[in-house]
Amino acid sequence: MPTDIIVPNLGESIVEATVAEWLKQEGDPVEVGEAIVVLETEKVDLDVGAEKRGVLAKIVRAKGEDVEVGDVLGVIEESGAEDGEPSPAAAGQAAQMEEPKEAAEPAEERPQASGEREIATPVARRLAAEHGVDLDAVSPSGPRGKITKEDVERHLARSGGEKPAPPAPRPEDSRPARPAPQVERAADPRGEERVRMSRRRRTIAQRLVEAQRTAAMLTTFNEIDMTAMMDLRQRRKEAFAERHGVGLGIASFFVKAAVGALRTFPQLNAEIDGDDLILKHYYDIGMAIGAEEGLVVPVLRDADRMSFAEIERAIKDFAQRAGEGALTLDDLRGGTFTITNGGVFGSLMSTPILNPPQVGILGLHKIEQRPIALNGEVVIRPMMYVALSYDHRVVDGRESVQFLVRIKELVEDPERLLLEG
């Protein structure tokens, strides 16, 4: 009996996706829960699994096609598993179990999964496919035994980076090869090419333009003397890392400072809904992270209740999973205020763009030794420019300037930050 593979509910306000990759081809056996196809949404990549055991009989929507919730992606023909008859995939697994143990050394330490593809992140799968790497030969190090991009890279380094020969095409697969829809060579002899933007990049572009078109966006600046905070980090970093198992960075200080400033200026922890202003009495701080496929903003929920160590651990986890393409929709949902740090890329000053429907975003920048006047003398101090972009429909200039002054006061006096942040 055929079973349709349907585009599932994609989460908050997401109704469209793009077929990023088929993990199975027509004629391949599938097991219940095994990932069959990867969908790229505007926020994350989602694996769509099989609801029935059988064979992938037909691929309806090809790689690169845009789909909507409820669309049919493909068809599974259920295998005859009645009266105790095992499916072809199950029979294959049983045969493999009877093989000598010497042939299964790399896979012995791998946790059992319903399908090989489910134990690797989407980025790791793509990298393995590009280099012809058998995932059974890769040792996992990710959470819950998942194979990460770094695991595949380490495997390639150990094997000398040689690419195994690609598998020979199956004779029964007579479908014509599909041209890559995302790249089209231009006719210009100097070598131009036209590259189709990914769904995520198109969404980012659309949201940024929308933010500038709908909000009365302005930016104000200040600078912070980072001496006291850096001295505190220098004194406490070893004990902090030994006790909590994570480094003490600057991000946790600014998250705490942002919460303290938002408490003083609640208009910046709000959003506009028609003629109403919705003031949020909770503090879900988004942390902008540059991932391979575009900017993502995972959210620290109830950041006001988090310790410095909890914030640092969460940010480290977000960064790792963003690099692996393993962030979930829940990680990215909501947010009342955003912090972005262009300083990690060397930016000295910038004007961050709002993340709708939020009305404020704090931009951090590179720490640089600069001469400043202090008590009538010129001294060299580690300084950072900070920027606040805000929606002038909600926030006046006075509040925006005072908000940044509050951030400055808290960061320049870390003890005060510990008490009030």
By annotation, the residues acting in catalysis are 392, 396
Cβ burial, residue 155 (10 Å; 0-12/13-18/19+): buried
Query: Cα–Cα distance between 304 and 211 in angstroms, integer?
Result: 27
Q: Which helix (H) or strand (E) holds 153?
A: helix 149-158
Alpha-carbon span 223 to 405, nearest angstrom: 9
The token pair that represents 253 in the structure block: 């200080």
Cα–Cα distance, 241 to 373 (Å, whole number): 35
Tokens of 312: 């640092």
Q: Quote the tokens at residue 103.
A: 């042939």
**Within 13 Å and on the Cβ side, how many CA atoms surround 52?**
18
Cα separations (Å) of 102 from 151, 167, 290, 341, 419? 23, 23, 43, 50, 60
State how far the Cα of 159 lies from the Cα of 104, in Å rounded to an integer: 18
Quick check: 411 and 257 in contact, CB under 8 A?
yes
**Alpha carbon 177 to chain centroid distance?**
31
d(CA 323, CA 319): 6
15: closest CA among 67, 93, 77? 67
